[in-house]
Amino acid sequence: MSSEFRLSMHGQWSGRVAFILAATGSAVGLGNIWKFPYITGDNGGGAFVLVYLFCIVLIGIPVMMAEIFLGRKGGLSPINTMGMLAREENRHGIWRGLGWMGAIAGLLILSYYSVIAGWAMAYTVRMAAGVFVGATADGVTSIFVALTSDPERLLGWHTLFMLMTMTIVSRGVQHGLEKAVRFLMPLLLIMLLILVAYATTTGAFAQGFNYLFYPDFSKLTSESVLVAMGHAFFTLSLGMGAIMAYGAYLPKNISIAKTTFMIAGADTLVALFAGLAIFPIVFANSMTPAEGPGLIFKTLPIAFGQMDYGILFGTLFFVLIVFAAWTSAISLIEPMVAWLVENKNLSRIRASAYIGVLTWFIGVGSVLSFNVWEKATWSIPGLFKDLTFFDTLDGLTANVLLPLGGLFIAIFVGHLMAKHKVKEEMNSHPLLYTIWYALIRYVTPLLVIIVFLKAIKLI
């Protein structure tokens, strides 16, 4: 079979657009709308955003290109792709471990991601019921607290979201994804624009804008830099094999560089719009930016509660968040499921069911960490304070496992693969190629290492 038409055993995208849509569906999710605003608020605003943008360009984009490249070259689940490519390059079989680390990270992320997606589902219902009409900041906050302090309710939504995710994964990720994302992404952008337009009427738009874009470097700590870098990986779905798994279903004749720019561009735009919508609401209602994971749930309902057609827009917006989370969730679990199908001869349905149940169980810990286990925290002196189960999982995956995965990917592609093979397979514009190769070989790994060492205060 010519390599152009080599078919992955899990199916193949119908073409470039399908891949872009699926990868964008993976990238754009809770990371953009829920996590980006709240960690920006926790880490002091502008300077943090600037570091995050730097990380997208100098680390995220090169790593995404490398991951798509590896995935397409291997054509298998990330674990087997890494095993196969290591063999091809006469490298140690331990490189499969990179695939394993990613697959496990994906599972851990999904376990809490699903809980937060559950909040968004609960909010869809509350929006539609008109609960927030005319609500004050205090009222909205108490509705949030009522939800998160009720473990049974959270568990119900978490269960529903996991079922939704595993249903799609069990049918193969290509089906329906293309159509759904093509329709939902523009709609999400429009809704965000409506929210930004509302934000301009709050009287605090300039303040919100400055908070987001005016860097105050005195607020930047080495931990914030680590969080910003970790988020660049998280938001672009990098370092754990999601994009590698999707790359495996990518036809050969497609430009990896152009595709990457589009995905990263769309992802960054959504995050910045979300920030622009949220911070003016924060300041207009005398709230603090450092509200933590509840930030968007305490601010956006105020906006919808006050605007014309708020019930309609609010419901639609939370439905869109749930969809965005859904298209990300299926990519979080795809590497593990694809491996089970390849190696254990399981059907996709069985593989999804096993992994789904396991992930659901881990998620129960995050459900409880917002109520019953709220006080069960621990600290790493000098580094992190009062981490709950949820914070620990989030920190471990986004700030440690994903960047570590990215570092190893950069080392593998930049140093361990034969240069001519990389060049041939990348097949991009010579100047672009030279820049990318220099970034992935030197800049990306060095930056990740420096940020790590700084965070643990070794330099």
Residues engaged in binding ligand PHE (CB under 6 A) = 26-27, 29-32, 109, 234-235, 237, 240, 242, 328, 331-332
Query: Whose Cβ is closer to ligand PHE: residue 120's or residue 287's?
Result: 120
Residue type for 366, please?
S
Longest pairwise C-alpha distance within the chain: 65
Tell me how far, at minimum, the Cβ of 90 lies from ligand PHE, in Å.
Answer: 30
Dihedral sign computed on CA atoms, order 368, 371, 373, 379: positive
- Which residue number places its CB atom closest to ligand PHE? 31
Interatomic CA distance for residues 390 and 114, integer angstroms: 12
Q: Which residue has the tokens 């169980």?
A: 361
Query: Residue 394 CB, nearest distance to ligand PHE (Å)?
Result: 11
Smallest distance, ligand PHE to C-beta of residue 50, A: 19
Q: Give the residue with the Cβ less far from ligand PHE, 234 or 389.
A: 234
Q: Between 31 and 251, whose beta carbon lies closer to ligand PHE?
A: 31
Give CA–CA dist 377/399, Å, rounded. Answer: 18
Nearer Cβ to ligand PHE, position 31 or 406? 31
How many CA atoms lie less than 13 Å away from 241 in the CB half-sphere? 34
CB of 271 to ligand PHE, least distance (A): 8
Query: Can you tell me the distance from the alpha carbon of 60 to that of 457, in angstroms, rounded to the nearest whole number?
Result: 24
Give the residue with the Cβ less far from ligand PHE, 234 or 436: 234
Q: How far is the CB of 379 from ligand PHE (least distance, A)?
A: 26
- Nearest approach, Cβ of 402 to ligand PHE (angstroms)? 7
Q: By C-alpha distance, which of 267, 274, 269 is closest to 295?
A: 274
**Nearest CB to ligand PHE, comparing residues 335 and 414:** 335
Residue with token string 């880490």: 43
Give CA separation, 64 vs 186, 276, 356, in Å.
23, 26, 26
Tell me the DSSP string of 348-402.
HHHHHHHHHHHHHHHHHHHHHTTTTTTT--EEETTTEEEE-HHHHHHIIIIIIIH
Measured from the CB atom, the residue of 30 and 409 that comes closer to ligand PHE is 30
**Closest approach of Cβ 129 to ligand PHE, in Å?**
26
Phi and psi dihedrals of 309, rounded to 5? 55, 25
Cα–Cα distance between 385 and 396 in angstroms, integer?
Answer: 14
Q: Minimal distance in Å, beta carbon 205 to ligand PHE?
A: 25
Q: Which CB atom, from 51 or from 109, has the smaller least distance to ligand PHE?
A: 109
First to last CA, the chain: 52
